[in-house]
Amino acid sequence: MSILPSAFFAVIFVYFISVFAAHTWSGIRTRKLSSLSPRDLLNKLHPVPLREIEALAHAHMPSSEHSTRDPITIWRMLGEARGVSNMIENTEIMIALASYAERWNPADMQFDAARMRRDGVLFRRAAAHLSNSVITANPLNISLYAHEVASTYYVMSQRLRTAMNIDPQFAEPR
């Protein structure tokens, strides 16, 4: 009888420890990135398939023809697991660059930096859903979340390029 409540409290305890650890890790990573110079941040960007991301982002727009590509092709266009992982790391770096630009030019960059942080939340959520959809082999969700990942990443990169006047090829494969 007393095993059930103790198991419940153990699960709750593990959950809260996990959330605390994830939050701490995220804070450490954010502080580490915020201490780097813009050039160092740009050098940390990973190569991603920008042309394919742009094509998927445009296919996600309401006025465009919806993509008729199969989910496997879309997954490959994003660079599969490695490409999505690179995009996840790049979004953190882009947010750090936007924060740096906000400190440098608060009047012009305040809105853009806040918008990029919100886009980063949307991107991470879509990337997590995409990963789960790939694991569960759900073709409809793979398509939906892959387009969402691509369009959010594309918008973030365009916003950063415009705001910071960065070379458009900054994250092309080398």
Q: Where do the structural domains in the chain lie, given as residue ranges? A: 1-35, 40-164
- What is the three-class DSSP state of 48? coil
| pLDDT one-digit tens code per residue, 114-162 | 888 899 999 999 999 999 998 898 888 888 899 899 999 998 888 888 8
Give one DSSP letter per residue of 103-123, joined into a string: HH-HHHHHHHHHHHHHHHHHH
Q: Which residues contact 146 (CB under 8 A, 6 or more apart)?
A: 56, 71, 74, 75, 77, 78, 130
pLDDT category of residue 173 using cuts at 50, 70 and 90: very low
Using CA atoms, how far apart are residues 104 and 111, in angstroms rounded to an integer?
14
Place of tokens 């494969």: 173
Token digits for 63? 């006025």
Place of tokens 């080398």: 174
| pLDDT one-digit tens code per residue, 63-120 | 555 556 788 888 888 888 899 999 999 998 888 888 888 887 788 778 888 888 899 9
Predicted local distance difference test score (pLDDT) of residue 152: 92
